[in-house]
Structure 1
Amino acid sequence: MEKENKLYFHGGLLGAWVPMITFVVIMITAALTGHISLMVFAAGAFVAICTGFILSKDKKEFDNAVIDGVGDHMLATMTVAFIMAGILSQLLRQSGLIQGLIWLSSQLHLNANFLPVITFITCVLISTACGTTGGTCAAVTPIMLPLAVGFGCNPGLIVGAIMSGSIFGDNLAPISDTTIASAMTQETDVSSVVKTRLPYSIISGVGASLLYIYFGFKTLNADAVMTQVDASKAPSLVMLVLPVIMAFLMTKGVGLVSTMLVCNMLGITLNLALGLIPFSTMISADGPVVAGISGMAGLILFCIMLFAVLELTKRSGAFDQLISGIHSKCDTPQKAELASAGMTIFGMIAIAASTANIIIVGPFVRQLTKKFHIARTRGANITDGLSTAFGGIVPYNSSFLLCMSLAAASGVVADTFSFREVLPYCFHSYGLIILYVGSALTGIGRKFENSGASETN
């Protein structure tokens, strides 16, 4: 960075870190007090920017730094991608696809011992199709939890299956905001990220499925048959063609925005043609297009404020100094990946928000992996895999809180029901943690961006 563009703070580099520290402290406080919200986090970023203004020596250069942060190309790309993803997610959800998938799972006619794994697989399909953890929890919990508990299933096991299945797609789906953010922060494309993380998701998902079957039999002795839910939603299953088309287009090298535009236009056409969403609803304020855009407003606002804070830290040179310090300690690819994993885990414990954590930690991880020419997808997968995994087990994560609130509202769990009864059964989260930390330790799956780089553990 040119010297004349450097932003100086009162207190030197320590003063330069104060805005970011202020931001993190506010997020930690909000998380610990149960106020986990992107809007609250955005307000925290505003306070951090105010702090930076007070401490900066050159107010004109401060203005330039804030504007440059908001005008970042990565932020612009993420904003467009988030909007497109929000619309597509709403098109899938409002079509009745969620209810259709639940109905389809009911047609397996398996005894009640299989309800935990059916719940898990249902959530896997929904979250992968829609790319949302909270949406999947909100859709499945009120239906599957009372149904399963009514057959004598362990409620903690069912909620654990819902959380595990919900984060599966959040980690893997091309339209998931965490997938998009992890790809953008590591300067790679979404299709490559999805392709390389698929084996980890499958291995963990298969292991989780087997465990849900085992504990389904271990915790329930009844031999009941699952009843039909709602056959009228079966036509919505045709909407599953959209994720398939998306995957196909991306593998052919079509850009993310273009791919999502095609899927959105096709989704609108299918919904109208099949009568899944009436035209009056499609163009209404509650319809998929408007709801998809407004639903991403909080995330986009948070990203705008966050990039402004990040630019203050970068412009001061504090970011480069931290990276240099970490670099001096990380003299092997193994240490670089372990440091990346450690920062990701610490960030999730601190703020309990997967997308926000990826955006914050991502630039640090990119600098570490770049030093050793580690494949960009590798950094994206470590940050996303561990962020979403911890999102499924940190009790003050917003999706976890939503799921627990819906469980309490269902009236089928005891007043004393808490996260302690759920955590032992979040199998997919634990599987991802074991796989990604183990991979960083052993070097399994590690690839380099040029043939001249050699692996050193």
Structure 2
Amino acid sequence: MKQPALTFYGGKFMALVPVAIYTFFCLLLFVFYRAFNMEALAVGGFLALLIGGIFARSYRQFWEAATRGISSLPSVSVIMILLMVGMFSALIKLCGLSNGFVWLATALGVHGGLFVAFTFLATCVVSTATGSSIGTMFIAFPIFYAAGGQLGANEMMLAGSIVSGAIFGDNLAPISDTTIASASTQQFQNGQPADIGGVVRSRFKYSAVAASVTLVIYIMLGGVGGHFQGGKLAQAASPAPLIMLLPVAVMLMVAVKTRNIYAGLLVGLGLGTVTGLAFGLFKSSAIFANHAAENKITGFLVTGLNDILPTVALVIAVFGIMGVLTEAGVLDDLAQQVLRHPLGKTARGTELIAMLGTSLVTIIFGGVTSAAILTAGPIVNKIGQAHQLHPYRRANLLDGTANSLPALVPFLSVFIFIGAALTKLSPVTVALGTIYGIVLFGVYLVAVVTGWGRRLEAPQEVESRN
């Protein structure tokens, strides 16, 4: 039996109060406090629900709607995958893959623009391996940025290359929270979320074109104004961590080929653990260890789970808000308004609207791409289904737009804020150097205008979920 519609004092659009409160928290954190804290964002989401429910005619029905949103198939899929991704990400971080790339750069004798391009490629690999853009930035900046100063790299381009590489993995990695969110919010006609392996496979061409253009620009401009100082790098640099590229590659291949992210994570985690132990990158106690005297369990399995919990909390809060908007009829109304607009009459126009809407939400949310995708995703799903746009195409537009130009607005972007904080450069300087995000937006805009990569879902097409 269909649940009664959720109603609000003042009309259904009062259901947007939780969105307004969450947006306020984003602005408070990023603009006024200049801080990024996933736990605080999650707190903002839950407070938005607690306060927003006051405007509902039935507080009980409000929370039932929020609970149904949290317990929906897309929400549960995202949460389950994120919890397992956390463990694999912690394994890769433990092995110090970035240090291996610094050793490789010095061994090859690259400097200037070549080092900036190398840093971009290396950071792409690290972010794809860990699935964490923010984590990659905190790993890469202390290593690559410090090294680049001695190797004649342009500061603006070097900082931007690290942010660019972090965004690349966030956009493409099958274990990235944005990839998981963009796929899970787009449904096939049978109601199943888009499988992550298929999404990544279809997304690769856009990322590859943008990365290629970015690479050329970094080679040409990355050394302008830099001064080569002989390349005395950190003594910690070692080739040993590069062996971890093997389990990363196997994990990616299994996830894409089988279209099952769980299979990829199982193989990657198992092979990665064996490889790390065999090459002495960590001891068995780093996997799982009990400290009885301190009543404490340690190891990368536990650390990985703990590190991802704030993101899981944010996902729960956002899906709760989405549940309220759905049952209040707000999402349906917004979708119908889009489809009634002249642009919404065609597939191309609908895709342009999807890019514009995702851009606005991403800017409002301060570049927190996962939250932006979870918010814009249900609407893009509805308007895309009306034109039979394939779930892969919709997921790619969502993720590609959120992880591009809208996420690079100075003073409003978490990516730019972190880059500026770690380099002492101005936010404008870091943003201008983040070439990949700028180029990626252009690639998707061209794809929408020309129809490149546009795919329609066949009326009887049935896909198995990851």
Instruction: State the match for 1:157 in structure 2.
Output: 157
Equivalent position to 2:339, from 297, 316, 327: 327
The alpha-carbon deviation at position 101 of structure 1 amounts to: 2.1
Larger mean CA deviation between 311-320 and 49-58 belongs to 49-58
Q: Secondary structure at the match of 1:63?
A: helix
Equivalent position to 1:429, from 437, 440, 465: 437
1:146–1:228: structure 2 CA closer, same or farther, 3 Å change rule?
Answer: closer
Equivalent position to 1:381, from 396, 402, 410: 396
Instruction: State the match for 1:24 in structure 2.
Output: 23
Equivalent position to 2:352, from 338, 348, 354: 338
1:308–1:406: structure 2 CA closer, same or farther, 3 Å change rule?
Answer: same
The alpha-carbon deviation at position 198 of structure 1 amounts to: 0.8
One-letter amino acid of the structure 1 residue matched with residue 261 of structure 2: L
One-letter amino acid of the structure 2 residue matched with residue 336 of structure 1: T
Instruction: State the match for 1:283 in structure 2.
Output: 288
How far apart, in 2, do the equivalents of 1:35 and 1:111 lie?
33
How far apart, in 1, do the equivalents of 2:174 and 2:10 lie?
43
1:217–1:258: structure 2 CA closer, same or farther, 3 Å change rule?
Answer: closer
Q: Note if contact 2:253-2:264 (Cα within 8 Å) is conserved in structure 1.
A: no
Instruction: State the match for 2:199 in structure 1.
Output: 193
How far apart, in 1, do the equivalents of 2:177 and 2:162 lie?
19
Q: Secondary structure at the match of 1:428?
A: helix
Q: Secondary structure at the match of 1:5?
A: coil
Instruction: State the match for 1:87 in structure 2.
Output: 87
The alpha-carbon deviation at position 422 of structure 1 amounts to: 2.4
The alpha-carbon deviation at position 300 of structure 1 amounts to: 0.5
How far apart, in 2, do the equivalents of 1:39 and 1:231 lie?
32
1:232–1:35: structure 2 CA closer, same or farther, 3 Å change rule?
Answer: closer
One-letter amino acid of the structure 1 residue matched with residue 195 of structure 2: D
Instruction: State the match for 1:208 in structure 2.
Output: 214
Q: Note if contact 1:86-1:293 (Cα within 8 Å) is conserved in structure 2.
A: yes
Per-residue CA distance 1:62-86 (angstroms, 9 max, x = gap): 2321321222221111111111111
How far apart, in 2, do the equivalents of 1:328 and 1:157 lie?
44
Structure 2: gaps (5+ residues): 187-192, 290-296, 462-466
Instruction: State the match for 1:355 in structure 2.
Output: 370
Equivalent position to 1:301, from 307, 313, 335: 313
One-letter amino acid of the structure 2 residue matched with residue 324 of structure 1: Q
1:55–1:277: structure 2 CA closer, same or farther, 3 Å change rule?
Answer: same
TM-score in terms of structure 2 length: 0.89
Q: Note if contact 1:37-1:398 (Cα within 8 Å) is conserved in structure 2.
A: no
One-letter amino acid of the structure 2 residue matched with residue 209 of structure 1: L
TM-score in terms of structure 1 length: 0.91
1:137–1:17: structure 2 CA closer, same or farther, 3 Å change rule?
Answer: closer
Whether 2:238 is the aligned partner of 1:233: answer: yes
Structure 1: gaps (5+ residues): 409-416
Larger mean CA deviation between 430-439 and 277-286 belongs to 277-286
Per-residue CA distance 1:294-324 (angstroms, 9 max, x = gap): 1111110111111111111111112211111
Q: Secondary structure at the match of 1:275?
A: coil
1:5–1:273: structure 2 CA closer, same or farther, 3 Å change rule?
Answer: farther
1:169–1:391: structure 2 CA closer, same or farther, 3 Å change rule?
Answer: farther
Q: Secondary structure at the match of 2:454?
A: coil
Per-residue CA distance 1:141-198 (angstroms, 9 max, x = gap): 1122222223443211210111111111111111111111111111211111111111
The alpha-carbon deviation at position 342 of structure 1 amounts to: 0.5
Q: Note if contact 1:19-1:309 (Cα within 8 Å) is conserved in structure 2.
A: yes
The alpha-carbon deviation at position 391 of structure 1 amounts to: 6.4
How far apart, in 1, do the equivalents of 2:112 and 2:54 lie?
62
Whether 2:83 is the aligned partner of 1:75: answer: no
How far apart, in 2, do the equivalents of 1:173 and 1:113 lie?
26
Whether 2:419 is the aligned partner of 1:403: answer: yes
One-letter amino acid of the structure 2 residue matched with residue 360 of structure 1: T
Q: What percent of counterpart residues are identical?
A: 27
Instruction: State the match for 1:413 in structure 2.
Output: none
Instruction: State the match for 1:255 in structure 2.
Output: 260
Q: Note if contact 2:154-2:224 (Cα within 8 Å) is conserved in structure 1.
A: no
Q: Note if contact 1:349-1:394 (Cα within 8 Å) is conserved in structure 2.
A: yes
Number of corresponding residues: 443
Instruction: State the match for 2:174 in structure 1.
Output: 174
Q: Secondary structure at the match of 1:399?
A: helix
Equivalent position to 2:380, from 350, 365, 369: 365
Q: Matches of residues 102-117 of structure 1 in structure 2 within 5 Å?
A: 102-117=102-117
Per-residue CA distance 1:28-59 (angstroms, 9 max, x = gap): 34332224432222222222212332122223
How far apart, in 2, do the equivalents of 1:73 and 1:451 lie?
22
Larger mean CA deviation between 347-356 and 270-279 belongs to 270-279
Instruction: State the match for 2:50 in structure 1.
Output: 50
One-letter amino acid of the structure 1 residue matched with residue 19 of structure 2: M
How far apart, in 2, do the equivalents of 1:452 and 1:185 lie?
20
The alpha-carbon deviation at position 121 of structure 1 amounts to: 1.6
Larger mean CA deviation between 422-431 and 16-25 belongs to 16-25
Q: Note if contact 1:101-1:126 (Cα within 8 Å) is conserved in structure 2.
A: no
Instruction: State the match for 1:245 in structure 2.
Output: 250
How far apart, in 2, do the equivalents of 1:263 and 1:143 lie?
25
One-letter amino acid of the structure 1 residue matched with residue 107 of structure 2: Q
How far apart, in 2, do the equivalents of 1:131 and 1:223 lie?
32
How far apart, in 1, do the equivalents of 2:35 and 2:111 lie?
40
Q: Note if contact 1:110-1:226 (Cα within 8 Å) is conserved in structure 2.
A: no
How far apart, in 2, do the equivalents of 1:60 and 1:392 lie?
36
Larger mean CA deviation between 376-385 and 24-33 belongs to 24-33
One-letter amino acid of the structure 1 residue matched with residue 432 of structure 2: P
How far apart, in 2, do the equivalents of 1:63 and 1:210 lie?
52
The alpha-carbon deviation at position 355 of structure 1 amounts to: 0.8
Q: Note if contact 1:84-1:264 (Cα within 8 Å) is conserved in structure 2.
A: no
1:315–1:145: structure 2 CA closer, same or farther, 3 Å change rule?
Answer: same
RMSD: 2.2
How far apart, in 1, do the equivalents of 2:79 and 2:262 lie?
11
How far apart, in 2, do the equivalents of 1:297 and 1:252 lie?
28
Q: Note if contact 2:8-2:14 (Cα within 8 Å) is conserved in structure 1.
A: yes
Per-residue CA distance 1:250-293 (angstroms, 9 max, x = gap): 34325212321222122222222332111222224553111110
Instruction: State the match for 1:411 in structure 2.
Output: none
